Amino acid sequence: MTKTIKNVSLIILSVVLVAAIITAALYNLNKAFAVGTTIQSQGDTFYLSETEYDKDQKFVYTAVANFNYGNAAGLAFGAKDGERYFVFNVDRNENHVKLLYFSVNNGVTTAKELLTDYFIGNDKMTESERNYVAGKVKGVDKVQLKVILTPEENGKVYAEFYADNIRRFGVDNVIDLNSFTVDGVAAPLYKGGNIGFNCFAAEVEFTDVYYGVSDYSYYTELYRQQYHFSQYAPWNNDPNGLVY
């Protein structure tokens, strides 16, 4: 009888320990799954990380913007808090992707659109098509954004921008961040800085955040397909199902 009680006690103890381990594992999993940065604002708000790249460092930076509501969200880079910010964003309200440069003078933040393009569609759309597409874009709940910077020794800072893995501002358009002018003044705008997030009149959670030093663009790799679709990283499944 005593032996049976001991065996039952051991079984109960084992079950409790297993349950505790499973609970702990689920808690850690949920905790890890819940990791993300959520920012909310009425105007433009910036959230910078401690990660910083010098003006001559090459890097790639990507994240998914998950909209709870609102207009626009993007990736900030080359930023110095309270002084300057580059932002690549998607504006659901306007159906646009934009490259913006924010400068701060005497506490006043000024934004300039350096490049603008449609998020979905093009300038050949009719007004009715634009209205139809714009209505759909306002309901898009998440967008993957990516920035690739390649500074060169000649002072040029080549940049590539992708939204949902589609290169923006013209596939053949060579973008040099130091070729733009602000307020009529031509000067090197890109001075390196922190990476982070931006949102405008929205609440957005940023997930799947990756960044690192890069010696090349993902889409100029030696064996990267240039005609057929290829995802920017790991692998993809059912590629024949990509046509919508």
- Count of helix runs (H) and strand runs (E) in the chain: 2, 12
| Residues 6 or more apart whose Cβ sits within 8 Å of residue 210 | 60, 61, 62, 63
Task: Tell me how far apart the alpha carbons of residues 166 and 170 are, in angstroms, rounded to a whole number.
Answer: 10
Sign of CA dihedral 56, 60, 66, 71: positive
Task: Tell me how far apart the alpha carbons of residues 2 and 233 are, in angstroms, rounded to a whole number.
Answer: 60
Tokens 């708000």: give the residue.
45
The two three-digit tokens of residue 121, written as one number: 């569609």
| Residues 6 or more apart whose Cβ sits within 8 Å of residue 84 | 78, 101, 102, 103, 104, 189, 191, 193
Listed as ranges, residues in the chain with pLDDT below 50 are: 5-6, 8, 10-13, 15-34
Cβ proximity of 151 and 217 under 8 Å: no
Angle at 149 between CA 148 and CA 152, to 5 degrees: 145
Whole-model pTM: value is 0.75
Sign of CA dihedral 164, 165, 166, 171: positive
Task: Tell me how far apart the alpha carbons of residues 198 and 42 are, in angstroms, rounded to a whole number.
Answer: 12
Q: So what's the pLDDT on residue 22?
A: 32
Phi, psi (5° rounding) for residue 114? -85, -40
Question: CA–CA distance from 209 to each of 35, 59, 196 (Å)?
Answer: 10, 13, 10
Rg (CA), the chain: 23
- SS3 state of residue 39: strand
